[in-house]
C-alpha cells in the first residue's frame, strides 16, 4: 500500500464539506420509495386491518334509510284575516326560524309522535347503540337468557324520546323559510312515515297553539268588554246625576246658559254691524251735503257719490237724466252757440235736476240718522242683556268644569269600549277561520338507497385511515429508531467519513487446525470471521475490509510505519474482528504487520488468536521478556500478534497504556513493522482508549449497524476529544445488506469501487 500526505483532520474536514443541495423532487421521491421499502409491511398490515374493520362494520351495522319532508313557514293569510287578527304577526328572521327548529326537535313533539304512531316496540328506538358494554350484554343474554316479564316488553315513552331525537334531524334549507325534517330508520317506508308524522304533528301543534291563543284572547276581550261596559255606564250615570243636582239642563250637549250667551253674542255682533253701517251711511250723506252748494259741485260726482254710497234709485234716475241733458248741451253749444235759447233751456233744466238731487240727499240724511239712532239703542240693549247672562253664568263655572270632566271620562270609556268591541268581533271571526303558519311543501317518500353506512365511502375511508395510520406508525418508527443504518447518516450526524459498510456474515470453521507445537506460537483461526479475508478474498466481506485499508492508507500521516487503533463506543460491536481482519488483509498483501491486543480488561483478541499465551503486552512493556518471545504468528498471512495476558483483574490499565514504557514499546513496533494495528477497549465503559492517544496515529471507529444508538456514539466521542480529533473514519459493522437496500437503495454498494478510483487518482497526482 502507498502513503499519502493528507492528515486525519483534513480527511475529516473533507468528509464534512459535503455539497449542500436544496431538496428537490427526485430526493423526495427517493426518500418516499425508500420509506415504502422499509415500512411497506407495517403499512400493508395496518391498511388490511383497517379494511377488515371497515368491512366488519358494514356487515354488522344494520342499514339506515333517511326520509326528508319539507315544511314551508309563514303561509300567506287572507287579507280579512290579517285585519281582524288580535295577535301580532312577527316577521320570520333567523331567530324565529331557529325557534321553530327547536320546536320540531322538542321532546314534547317527539312524545306526541311516539304516542300517535305507537312506537313503543320500535326496534330502532329500543335497540341499544353499539358499544363494548352492549356487546357484553348481547353475549351474556345469549349465554344466560334472562327471564322476560310482560311489564318490561313495552318501553316507556319517556325512554324512547332520546333515541327518537337522535334519529331526527331538522335544518334550514339555505337562507329560505323552508325546513327539512329528516328521520333515519332501518326501514325505508318507516322512515318516510315518521318524517311525515313529525311534519304533520308540527303543523297541528302550530294550529292548536294559534287556536288556543285566539281562545285566550277572546276570553280576555270578553271580560274586558264587560268591565268597560260597566265603567261606561257608571260614568254616564255620574254625569246625569251631577247635571240634575246642579240644574244644568242641556240641549244638544250644551247647557241653557251657554246657549243663551251664544245667542246674545250673535245678536250683539249683528247689531254692532248694523249700527256701524247706519253710522257710515249718515256720515257719507253728511259729507256730501257739507259741500258749498250744488253749483260748486259737479253733478256727476254728486250723483255718483250719492248713488254709490246710498244706493237710492231716485238719485240714480235723476243722475241718468242729468247726464243726457249734459251731453245734449255740449252738442248744441258747439252747433248753435252758448247763447242759443235751446242751450239756455237745457242749462235751466240741469239746475232743476241738481236741486232735486240735493233735496233727495237731505231727506236721505234724515232717514239715515234715524236708523243709526235705532240701531245704537238696540245694540246697547243687547249689551246689557249679555252682561246679565255672563254674570249669571259665572256662578255655574265650577260645576261646569266638574261636569266636563265627568263627560270626558264617560266619552273615553265609550270609545275604548267600541275599540275592544271591534277587536272582539275580529277574534271571534279568526277562531271560526283556523289557519296554520306552516304547511307541508313536499312530503317524505321512501328512499331507494340507504343513507348509512355507505359501503364505498366506508371502505375508502378505511383504506385512507389505514394508509395514513400505517405511514404514521412507519414514520414514527423511523423517527424513534435512533440507531445508525446508513453511511450518509454517519457522515451527517458524526461529521466523519464512513469508510466502509461491512456485511454481517456467519463464522466458518477453518480447515487449517491449530499447531500442536506451542513453542512455535502459531495463531489459531478455527472459528474466526477474520479468516474470510484470506479464505475468500473476493467476497463482499473481504472487499469491505479492503475499502477500510484503502481509506486508512489515504488518511494517515507521517512516515511508512503507522499505528492504527480500532475502537468502538460500546462492547460487542465487532471491533476485534474488524482489527483482526484488517491486519490479516494488510499482512496478506506482503506488508509487515503486527496486531496488538490493548484491551487489557477483556482481551477477546488474545483468547481467540493465542489462547495458550502465557506472556504478552504487559511483560514486554515492563522488559521482563523480549518481544520475540511474546509474539505469535499467523501461518497463512505471516501476521504477528502481540497478545495481552491477564492472570488477575486489571485495576490500572489506563495508567499502563499512558505510561512511558508503553510508549517506548510502540516506538520499537513502529520502527520494526510497516503497520501496527491495535485492538483498543471501547470508549464508553472505560477510559483506556483515551490513554492511547500518546502512541496511536489514527483511529477507526466501529459502529454496529441497527443497534448502536446515535446519542451513545455522540456522548462517547464528546467524552474522548483526543480520540475524536484523530479518527480517520467510521465503519458500519454487521450490516444487514438486504435490509440496507430499504434505507439507501443500494447506493453504498459501489462505495468501495469509488474509493479505489479516488486512490488511483491521488497516487497519480
H-run or E-run covering 733: strand 727-735
- Across 4-18, 201-215, 375-389, least confident range: 4-18
pLDDT category at 392 given cuts 50, 70, 90 is low
Q: Which residue has the higher pLDDT, 609 or 39?
A: 609
pLDDT of 625 above 70: yes
Cα separation, 80 vs 357, in Å, equals 79
- Across 28-32, 421-425, 552-556, least confident range: 552-556
pLDDT of 255 above 50: yes
Q: In the prediction, which pLDDT does 295 show?
A: 44
pLDDT of 87 above 70: no
Q: In the prediction, which pLDDT does 733 show?
A: 87
Q: Which residue has the higher pLDDT, 521 or 705?
A: 705
The residue-averaged pLDDT of 151-155 equals: 48
Do residues 181 and 163 touch, judged by C-beta distance below 8 A?
A: no
Q: Enumerate the β-bridge partners of residue 169.
A: 182
pLDDT category at 594 given cuts 50, 70, 90 is very high
Cα separation, 619 vs 241, in Å, equals 150
Share of the chain above pLDDT 70, in %: 74
Q: In the prediction, which pLDDT does 517 show?
A: 44
pLDDT category at 163 given cuts 50, 70, 90 is confident
In angstroms, what is the C-alpha Rg of the chain? 67
Q: In the prediction, which pLDDT does 433 show?
A: 57
Do residues 493 and 715 touch, judged by C-beta distance below 8 A?
A: no
- Across 26-30, 65-69, 189-193, 607-611, least confident range: 26-30
pLDDT category at 423 given cuts 50, 70, 90 is confident
The residue-averaged pLDDT of 650-657 equals: 79
pLDDT of 416 above 90: no
The three-class DSSP label of residue 575 is helix
Cα separation, 701 vs 595, in Å, equals 17
Q: In the prediction, which pLDDT does 139 show?
A: 53
Count of beta carbons in the 10 Å neighbourhood of residue 394: 10
The residue-averaged pLDDT of 718-730 equals: 88
Q: Under 8 Å CB-to-CB from 693, ≥6 apart: which residues?
A: 722, 723, 726
Do residues 313 and 299 touch, judged by C-beta distance below 8 A?
A: no
Give φ, ψ of 357 to 5 degrees. Answer: -65, -40
Q: Which residue has the higher pLDDT, 395 or 109?
A: 109
Strand 562-568 and strand 698-704: the pairing is: parallel
pLDDT category at 566 given cuts 50, 70, 90 is very high
Q: Which residue has the higher pLDDT, 520 or 715?
A: 715
Tell how far CA 358 is from the center of its chain. 112
DSSP 8-state assignment for residue 178 = E
Cα separation, 683 vs 713, in Å, equals 9
Q: Which residue has the higher pLDDT, 193 or 432?
A: 193
DSSP 554-567: HH--SSS-EEEEEE
CATH code for the part of the protein at 487-764: 3.40.50.300
Q: In the prediction, which pLDDT does 394 show?
A: 63
The residue-averaged pLDDT of 41-45 equals: 84
The residue-averaged pLDDT of 209-220 equals: 77
Q: Which residue has the higher pLDDT, 750 or 243?
A: 243
Share of the chain above pLDDT 90, in %: 4
DSSP 586-631: HHHTT--EEEEE--SSS-HHHHHH-TT----HHHHHHTSS-HHHH-
pLDDT of 708 above 50: yes
Q: For residue 591, which of 551, 549, 558 has the smallest C-alpha distance?
A: 549
Q: Which residue has the higher pLDDT, 270 or 676?
A: 676
Average pLDDT of the chain to the nearest whole number: 75
Q: In the prediction, which pLDDT does 759 show?
A: 42
pLDDT category at 274 given cuts 50, 70, 90 is confident
Q: In the prediction, which pLDDT does 129 show?
A: 58
Cα separation, 470 vs 39, in Å, equals 8
* Helices and strands per DSSP (H, E), number in the chain: 29, 14
Going from the C-alpha of 481 to that of each of 491, 709, 711, the distances in angstroms are 17, 8, 11
pLDDT digits (tens, 9 = 90+) for 166-213: 889 998 888 888 889 989 888 888 888 988 999 888 888 888 877 777
Q: In the prediction, which pLDDT does 755 show?
A: 44
Q: Under 8 Å CB-to-CB from 132, ≥6 apart: which residues?
A: none
pLDDT category at 678 given cuts 50, 70, 90 is very high
pLDDT of 19 above 70: no
Q: In the prediction, which pLDDT does 209 show?
A: 77
Amino acid at each position: 500500500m502507498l502513503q499519502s500526505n493528507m492528515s486525519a483532520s483534513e480527511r475529516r474536514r473533507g468528509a464534512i464539506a459535503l455539497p449542500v443541495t436544496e431538496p428537490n423532487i427526485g430526493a423526495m421521491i427517493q426518500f418516499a420509495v425508500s420509506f415504502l421499502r422499509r415500512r411497506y409491511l407495517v403499512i400493508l398490515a395496518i391498511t388490511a386491518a383497517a379494511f377488515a374493520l371497515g368491512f366488519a362494520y358494514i356487515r354488522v351495522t344494520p342499514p339506515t334509510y333517511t326520509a326528508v319532508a319539507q315544511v314551508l313557514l309563514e303561509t300567506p293569510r287572507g287579507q280579512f284575516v290579517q285585519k281582524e287578527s288580535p295577535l301580532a304577526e312577527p316577521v320570520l328572521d333567523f331567530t324565529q326560524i331557529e325557534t321553530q327548529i327547536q320546536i320540531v326537535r322538542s321532546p314534547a313533539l317527539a312524545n306526541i309522535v311516539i304516542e300517535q304512531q305507537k312506537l313503543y316496540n320500535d326496534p330502532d328506538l329500543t335497540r341499544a347503540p353499539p358499544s363494548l358494554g352492549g356487546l357484553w350484554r348481547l353475549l351474556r343474554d345469549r349465554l344466560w337468557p334472562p327471564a322476560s316479564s310482560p311489564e318490561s316488553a313495552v318501553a316507556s315513552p319517556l325512554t324512547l324520546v332520546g333515541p327518537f331525537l337522535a334519529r331526527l334531524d331538522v335544518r334550514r334549507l339555505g337562507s329560505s323559510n323552508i325546513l327539512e325534517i329528516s328521520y333515519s330508520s332501518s326501514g325505508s317506508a318507516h322512515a318516510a312515515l315518521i318524517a311525515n308524522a313529525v311534519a304533520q304533528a308540527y303543523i297541528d301543534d302550530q294550529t292548536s297553539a294559534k287556536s288556543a291563543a285566539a281562545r285566550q284572547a277572546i276570553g280576555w276581550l270578553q271580560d274586558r268588554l264587560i268591565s268597560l261596559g260597566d265603567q261606561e255606564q257608571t260614568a254616564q250615570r255620574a254625569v246625569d246625576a251631577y247635571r240634575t243636582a246642579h240644574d244644568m239642563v242641556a240641549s244638544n250637549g250644551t247647557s241653557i246658559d251657554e246657549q243663551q250667551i251664544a245667542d246674545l253674542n250673535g245678536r250683539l255682533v249683528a247689531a254692532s254691524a248694523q249700527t256701524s253701517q247706519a253710522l257710515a251711511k249718515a256720515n257719507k250723506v253728511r259729507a256730501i251735503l257739507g259741500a258749498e252748494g250744488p253749483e260748486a259741485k259737479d253733478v256727476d260726482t254728486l250723483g255718483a257719490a250719492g248713488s254709490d254710497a246710498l244706493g237710492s234709485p231716485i238719485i240714480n234716475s235723476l243722475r241718468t237724466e242729468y247726464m243726457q241733458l249734459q251731453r245734449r248741451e255740449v252738442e248744441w253749444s258747439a252747433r248753435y252757440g252758448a247763447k242759443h235759447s235751446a242751450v239756455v233751456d237745457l242749462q235751466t233744466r240741469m239746475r232743476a235736476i241738481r236741486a232735486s238731487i240735493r233735496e233727495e240727499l237731505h231727506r236721505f240724511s234724515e232717514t239715515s240718522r234715524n236708523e243709526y239712532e235705532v240701531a245704537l239703542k238696540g245694540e246697547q240693549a243687547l249689551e246689557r242683556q249679555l252682561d246679565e247672562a255672563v254674570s249669571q253664568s259665572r256662578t255655574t263655572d265650577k260645576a261646569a268644569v266638574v261636569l266636563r270632566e265627568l263627560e270626558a271620562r264617560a266619552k273615553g270609556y265609550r270609545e275604548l269600549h267600541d275599540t275592544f268591541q271591534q277587536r272582539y268581533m275580529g277574534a271571534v271571526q279568526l277562531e271560526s277561520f283556523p289557519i296554520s303558519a306552516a304547511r307541508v311543501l313536499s312530503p317524505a317518500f321512501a328512499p331507494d338507497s340507504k343513507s348509512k353506512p355507505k359501503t364505498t365511502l366506508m371502505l375508502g375511508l378505511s383504506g385512507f385511515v389505514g394508509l395514513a395510520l400505517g405511514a404514521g406508525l412507519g414514520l414514527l418508527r423511523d423517527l424513534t429508531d435512533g440507531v445508525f443504518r446508513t453511511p450518509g447518516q454517519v457522515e451527517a450526524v458524526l461529521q466523519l467519513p464512513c469508510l466502509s459498510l461491512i456485511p454481517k456474515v456467519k463464522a466458518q470453521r477453518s480447515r487449517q487446525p491449530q499447531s500442536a507445537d506451542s513453542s512455535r506460537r502459531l495463531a489459531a483461526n478455527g472459528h474466526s470471521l477474520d479468516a474470510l479475508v484470506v479464505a475468500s478474498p473476493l467476497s463482499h466481506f473481504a472487499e469491505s475490509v479492503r475499502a477500510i485499508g484503502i481509506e486508512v492508507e489515504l488518511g494517515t500521516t507521517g512516515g511508512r510505519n503507522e499505528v492504527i487503533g480500532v475502537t468502538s463506543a460500546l462492547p460487542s460491536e465487532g471491533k476485534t474482528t474488524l482489527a483482526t481482519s484488517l491486519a490479516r488483509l494488510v499482512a496478506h498483501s506482503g506488508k509487515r504487520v503486527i496486531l496488538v491486543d490493548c484491551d487489557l480488561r477483556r482481551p477477546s483478541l488474545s483468547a481467540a488468536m493465542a489462547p495458550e499465551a502465557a506472556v504478552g503486552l504487559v511483560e514486554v512493556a515492563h522488559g521482563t521478556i523480549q518481544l520475540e518471545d511474546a509474539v505469535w504468528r499467523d501461518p497463512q498471512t505471516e501476521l504477528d500478534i502481540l497478545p495481552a495476558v491477564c492472570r488477575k483483574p486489571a485495576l490500572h490499565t489506563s495508567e499502563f497504556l499512558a505510561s512511558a514504557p508503553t510508549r517506548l514499546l510502540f516506538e520499537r513496533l513502529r520502527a520494526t513493522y510497516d503497520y501496527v494495528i491495535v485492538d483498543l477497549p471501547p470508549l464508553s465503559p472505560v477510559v483506556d482508549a483515551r490513554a492511547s492517544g500518546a502512541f496511536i496515529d489514527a483511529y477507526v471507529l466501529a459502529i454496529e449497524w441497527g443497534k448502536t444508538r446515535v446519542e451513545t456514539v455522540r456522548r462517547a466521542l464528546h467524552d474522548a476529544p483526543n480520540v475524536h480529533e484523530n479518527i480517520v473514519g467510521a465503519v458500519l459493522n454487521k450490516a444487514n445488506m438486504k435490509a440496507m437496500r430499504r434505507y439507501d437503495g443500494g447506493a453504498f454498494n459501489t462505495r468501495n469501487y469509488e474509493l479505489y478510483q479516488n486512490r488511483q487518482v491521488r497516487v497519480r497526482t
